[in-house]
Amino acid sequence: MRPLLLGVLGCSLLLAVQALYSSDDDVVELNPSNFNREVIQSDSLWLVEFYAPWCGHCRNLVPDWKKAATALKGVVKVGAVDADQHKSLGGQYGVRGFPTIKVFGANKNKPEEYQGGRSSQAIVDGALSALRSLVKERLSGGSSGSGYNKQQQSTGGSKKDVVELTDDNFDQMVLEGDEVWMVEFFAPWCGHCKNLEPEWAAAATAVKEQTKGKVRLGAVDATVHQGVSGRYGIRGFPTIKIFRKGEEPEDYQGGRTRADIIERALDLFSDNAPAPELLEILNEDVIKTTCEDSQLCVIAVLPHILDTGAEGRNGYLEVMMKMADKYKKKMWGWLWTEAGAQLELEASLGIGGFGYPAMAAINTRKMKYALLRGSFSETGIHEFLRELSVGRGSTATFGGGAMPKIYSVDAWDGKDGQLPVEEEYDLSDVELDDDLGKEEL
């Protein structure tokens, strides 16, 4: 009985830690199911906190966030999203750290980052300032931020990113293409289809950007294009099907909000995406193009080829490639260099001269980095990256606050290293004096 009681108590404590806000608070709990209805389609100004239950700064913010919500009740809406549980919502709005506060004002689909203080008074002041700006914009004839057409005009989503599919182009685009497709079969008179339209359009824009066109959203008017609709047995509207090249179509069973659709699309993308390419740092362009488009770049500094040989180096690279595949959903960049090839990079990371192999994860936007402290193994690297991915890793700032100079080097040829050939000298013509260097005592 005692172990059972302790187990129940432990679960209760865990739930208490995770639930930062409750229905008794004036803070509205938001999730993928209610976010669009409560925030996006609302005419109210919203302050939304994206948090993680394990985040110390988030827990410290709770009393001030609640107090501000009570003070702003009836004036400005205050909400909170558990972005650790609802990653799709956090990802949709570019949340990278916790807590992140966004202001959803006139353009609900492009919220502004809240940059003010974290006290209740500062939050209230920031909210009222944003509210004044919203009122001034409305007085000057600006958008109120609600309604599908206005959302479309504010670039939150565009019908042009939903591909119009027909009996004529369906096979070529969907079945023969390399992309993964989510296809909506609709009828113009269908009320549920009309409700889905803005969600589908907004999701199409986000998915196009986040998957670089590898997952696409399309739509078929089943009342016009009855050939393709009949082929897949469409009986009700809207029906959504998932198409992968060479596979039978799959029924989409998820929610109908943009967040639900985006989350499923990103899962499809990661499931079908190849592992990221592991590149050697040969010049500045390699590190620039790889790291600028990634949230993190994982960089390994491997021992000199004379210390490991080709077999040893390939062993390290194999470990990295396995981890790149394991974390491919993150869409990070993966790079490596030989010890001594990029000395300024090593120095800026505090690696220089010893401790190889070494690894760092860098964020070039924030000029921050974290070092692998454990073993250079699948287990050690997994623990390192897992901690970073949930915001628990220890980070430091690049020396000088900028990327160091990257030198152009030759690519590794895949072979064992060779010692440099020493120059030989012919001493046959040199006369040596046997008494040279001798001194009389």
Kindly report the average pLDDT of the chain as a whole number: 84
Q: Which residue has the higher pLDDT, 20 or 394?
A: 20
Residue 432 pLDDT greater than 70, yes or no: no
Per-residue pLDDT band for 2 (boundaries 50, 70, 90) equals very low
pLDDT at 7: 42
What whole-number percentage of the chain has pLDDT above 90? 48
CA dist., res. 50 & res. 97, Å (int): 9
CA dist., res. 328 & res. 333, Å (int): 9
Residue 380 pLDDT greater than 80, yes or no: yes
Strands of 28-30's sheet in order across: 28-30, 77-82, 46-51, 100-104, 112-113
245-254 contacts, C-beta under 8 A, 24 or more apart: 245/175, 245/176, 245/177, 245/178, 245/180, 252/182
Least confident of 76-85, 159-168, 387-396: 387-396
Could you tell me the residue ranges of all domains in the chain?
28-138, 163-272, 279-397
Chosen CATH of 279-397 out of 3.40.605.10, 3.40.190.10, 3.40.30.10, 3.40.50.300: 3.40.30.10
- Catalytic residue of the set 11, 193, 291, 297: 193
> What residues have CB less than 8 Å from 302, skipping those under 6 apart?
308, 313, 316, 317, 336, 337, 338, 339, 356, 357
Residue 336 three-state SS? strand
- Catalytic residue of the set 11, 58, 291, 297: 58
Catalytic annotation present for 58:
yes
- Catalytic residue of the set 11, 55, 291, 297: 55
Chosen CATH of 28-138 out of 3.30.1360.200, 3.40.50.720, 3.40.630.30, 3.40.30.10: 3.40.30.10
Query: Which CA distances in Å does 369 have to 119, 262, 329?
Result: 29, 29, 20
Least confident of 141-150, 203-212, 403-412: 141-150
Side chain identity at residue 279, one-letter code: L
Q: Are the CB atoms for 220 and 186 separated by under 8 Å? A: yes
Give yes or no on whether 28-138 and 279-397 have one common fold.
yes
Residue 424 CB neighbours (<10 A): 6
Backbone angles phi, psi at 269, to 5 degrees: -65, -50
> Where would I find the H helices in 19-119?
35, 56-71, 87-92
pLDDT at 397: 86
pLDDT at 121: 92
What whole-number percentage of the chain has pLDDT above 70? 86
Catalytic annotation present for 297:
no
CA dist., res. 44 & res. 29, Å (int): 16
Burial readout 192-231 (b: 16 or more C-beta within 10 A, e: otherwise): ebeebbbbbbbbbbbbbebbeebbbbbbbbbeebeebbee
pLDDT at 418: 83
CA dist., res. 389 & res. 404, Å (int): 25
**CATH architecture under which domain 163-272 falls:** 3-Layer(aba) Sandwich (3.40)
Assign residue 208 a region (left: φ > 0; alpha: ψ between -120 and 50; beta: otherwise). alpha
Per-residue pLDDT band for 426 (boundaries 50, 70, 90) equals low
Catalytic annotation present for 190:
yes
pLDDT at 40: 85
